[in-house]
Amino acid sequence: QVHLTESGGGLVQAGGSLRLSCTASGGTFSSYYMGWFRQAPGKEREFVAAVTSSGVPMNSAVSVKGRFTISRDNAKNLVYLQMSSLKPEDTAVYYCAAQAHYELAVLGKFEHWGQGTQVTVSS
């Protein structure tokens, strides 16, 4: 079973950039579809972006299109979320997730989760 650990969160001013990383261990990383989700205080967790096992971006939330980019490095067991033009409404705990099956990844249904990393965007 794959184990996921996020890093790279922090406090950033509006308009700034941040790159989140997610390290995977304990599984065949290159076989998983990977995704990023986020959960703001008082809100439900929402999908942000996903990438195929080979590194092709799958889809992303409308709210982050043109600002966030997902990518992965299978040689290093890492998946990234590059965030730019950050807004206060991007403030949330960001989670990395893994899914072995394409048909479930497309539906945003991921089975393995990290603990999350806090991103706070100040105005």
In this predicted model, what pLDDT tens digit does every residue of 92-115 receive, in sequence order? 999 999 999 999 999 999 999 999
3-state SS class at 102:
helix
Cβ neighbours of 32 (radius 10 Å): 26
Gap between the Cα atoms of 53 and 122, Å rounded:
34
Instruction: Read off the pLDDT band of 1 (50, 70, 90).
Output: confident
> Tell me, what's the pLDDT at 28?
93
Give tens-digit pLDDT for 60-93. 999 999 999 999 999 999 999 999 999 999 999 9
Instruction: Read off the pLDDT band of 27 (50, 70, 90).
Output: confident
Closest CA to 117 of 43, 21, 47: 21
Element (H, E) at 106: helix 102-106
- Please compute the mean of the pLDDT values over residues 12-38 and round it to a whole number: 96
